[in-house]
Amino acid sequence: METLRKKEKPRDAAEKERLTKRLSRLAGQIEGIRRMVEDDRYCGDILLQLSAAEGALREIANSVYETHMLTCVKDKIRQGDDSALLESFELLRRLK
């Protein structure tokens, strides 16, 4: 697997706040699941919570991907750099 190059994408304050709130909420869900395991909760209940956390993580990833397409990829294409399309296809495959 190739090493990912360090790139930066400046985010506005509203986007950062939105993402960090969602990630904090997800971290809380994960902590709750950990406690459920420690408390020997019913497997089905744990699985439901895991599914909810997975869905939340997927939504966060989709949001970041959408922003990536609308900013980073769009800007690179405007500059004539079509490699951004190939990168976005690879990212999409990994998100599945």
Identify the domain containing residue 57 by its residue range: 16-95
The residue-averaged pLDDT of 58-64 equals 96
pLDDT at 62: 96
CATH number at residue 46: 1.20.58.1000
More confident residue, 36 or 85: 36
Give me the number of domains the chain comprises. Answer: 1
Q: Is residue 37 part of a domain?
A: yes
| Residue count (the chain) | 96
Does 9 map to a domain?
A: no
In a domain? residue 89: yes
Residue 5 within a domain: no
CB 72 within 8 A of CB 64: no
pLDDT of amino acid 8: 75
Residue 69, token pair as written in the block: 């397409």
**Tokens matching residue 94:** 């990994």
Residue 78 lies in a domain: yes
On whether residue 43 sits in a domain, the answer given is yes
* pLDDT tens, position by position, 6-18: 677 788 899 999 9
Q: What is the pLDDT of residues 21-30, one digit of tens each?
A: 999 999 999 9
Question: Could you tell me if residue 11 is inside a domain?
Answer: no
Q: What is the pTM of this model?
A: 0.82
In a domain, 90, yes or no: yes
Q: What is the pLDDT of residue 88?
A: 92
